[in-house]
Amino acid sequence: MTGFLLTRLAQAVLVVFAMSVLVFVGVYAIGNPIDVLIDPGATQAIREQLIRQYGLDLPLWQQYVTFLSNVAQGDLGRSMVYNVSVTSLVFSRLPATLELVLVSVTLATVIGIPAGLWAGYRPESWGAKAIMALSVLGFSVPTFWIGMLLIMGFAVELGWLPSGGRGPEATVFGITTSLATGKGWAHVILPALNLSLFKMGLLIRLTRAGMVEAMRTDYVKFARAQGLPDRQIVLRHVLPNISIPIVTVFGLELGSTLAFAVVTESVFNWPGVGKLIIDSILQLDRPVMVSYLIFVVILFVMINLAVDLIQARLDPRIRLKGGR
């Protein structure tokens, strides 16, 4: 297990370094933020002063070395637009995104896996066919369009839920969150549902495929021959055997949900990190853009590492192969 862990850690470090180079070069090749920051009528002297202040007069490789040295000291720079620390800016928006992701992933898991198990257990029933038909919608319909329909239906026509924004916050066990208030839950339901539909459809189809295949295996036939009830067979024998691909997809989708909740946050005006990165792109706020993308890379690497470790725990063959 130690060799497996060290191998994965070395791979993670290499991936983060390579992606940091690509992200830095890619972002710094897009436009000139000075053109956005200063008035078009500003003098050349003011323009050159700002260029020197932000280090934009240095060669690209030197800017990257400076960025790495600052990151090693825990400094991600200062936002060119908000003039505050990028770290404090990102972490001030992160709780809102984490709330949205937590509720959406919980919805996708609680609904998707049981629905997939049922659809695989009774694949020819009308209920299973209806579940699979609904899961196709999660793949096919664009997220922004579903979000607009949810707003039109539940906020505008019915008036049951608010159309956007984050609800009032409260502190529970030292944690400040909008999920501690009723109005906070009212605000998060629509965006969380919108964000969870794709993941829900993916989990339904993946679980159903594994269930159909597992129900044809010999160990299920032997368990039934021994008189075990189907509920016990599914929960104690089938579900653990099909859990590896589910865990893999769940981990990847958790990272993508946290990193790319941009569309949902924009449609519902949710004040999270996704909304921040959209504003930063429009304003060419390079430090925020680079820091966010590096954060996404590290997030994916950490989640993949965690998924690898869970897979190794579930299947010793993976652990032994990785150790060699």
Same structural domain, 183 and 115: yes
pTM for this one? Answer: 0.74
Q: Minimal CA–CA distance to 310: which of 236, 249, 238, 232?
A: 249
Same structural domain, 301 and 277: no
Task: Say if 217 falls within a structural domain.
Answer: yes
* Residue 320 clears pLDDT 60, i.e. is over it: no
Same structural domain, 143 and 253: yes
Task: Say if 89 falls within a structural domain.
Answer: no
* Residue 163 clears pLDDT 70, i.e. is over it: yes
Task: Say if 98 falls within a structural domain.
Answer: yes
pLDDT at residue 317 in the model: 57
Same structural domain, 30 and 152: no
Where residue 264 falls among pLDDT bands split at 50, 70, 90? confident
| CATH number assigned to the domain comprising residue 247 | 1.10.3720.10
Same structural domain, 196 and 265: yes
* Calpha distance 290→25 (Å, rounded): 10
Mean pLDDT score, 13-38: 72
Range of the domain at 176: 94-282
Same structural domain, 207 and 299: no
- Helix segments in the chain, DSSP class H: 2-28, 34-37, 44-53, 60-72, 86-121, 126-140, 143-150, 182-214, 218-225, 230-233, 239-241, 243-259, 262-267, 273-282, 286-314, 316-323
Where residue 7 falls among pLDDT bands split at 50, 70, 90? confident
State what percent of residues in the chain have pLDDT above 70.
85
Task: Say if 225 falls within a structural domain.
Answer: yes
Same structural domain, 40 and 152: no
Task: Say if 193 falls within a structural domain.
Answer: yes
pLDDT digits (tens, 9 = 90+) for 114-151: 888 888 888 888 888 888 888 887 777 788 888 888 88
* Calpha distance 113→118 (Å, rounded): 9
pLDDT at residue 220 in the model: 76
Read off the amino acid at residue 6: L
Same structural domain, 239 and 300: no
What's the token pair of residue 92?
């001030």
Same structural domain, 219 and 294: no
pLDDT at residue 195 in the model: 87
pLDDT at residue 311 in the model: 67
Task: Say if 88 falls within a structural domain.
Answer: no
Q: Is 162 helix (H, G, I), strand (E, B) or coil?
A: coil
Same structural domain, 174 and 122: yes
Where residue 1 falls among pLDDT bands split at 50, 70, 90? low
- Number of domains observed in the structure of the chain: 2
Same structural domain, 165 and 42: no
pLDDT digits (tens, 9 = 90+) for 266-305: 888 888 887 888 888 777 777 887 777 777 778 777 877 7
Q: Is 55 helix (H, G, I), strand (E, B) or coil?
A: coil
Task: Say if 86 falls within a structural domain.
Answer: no
Task: Say if 316 falls within a structural domain.
Answer: yes
* Residue 32 clears pLDDT 70, i.e. is over it: no
pLDDT at residue 318 in the model: 54
Same structural domain, 26 and 114: no
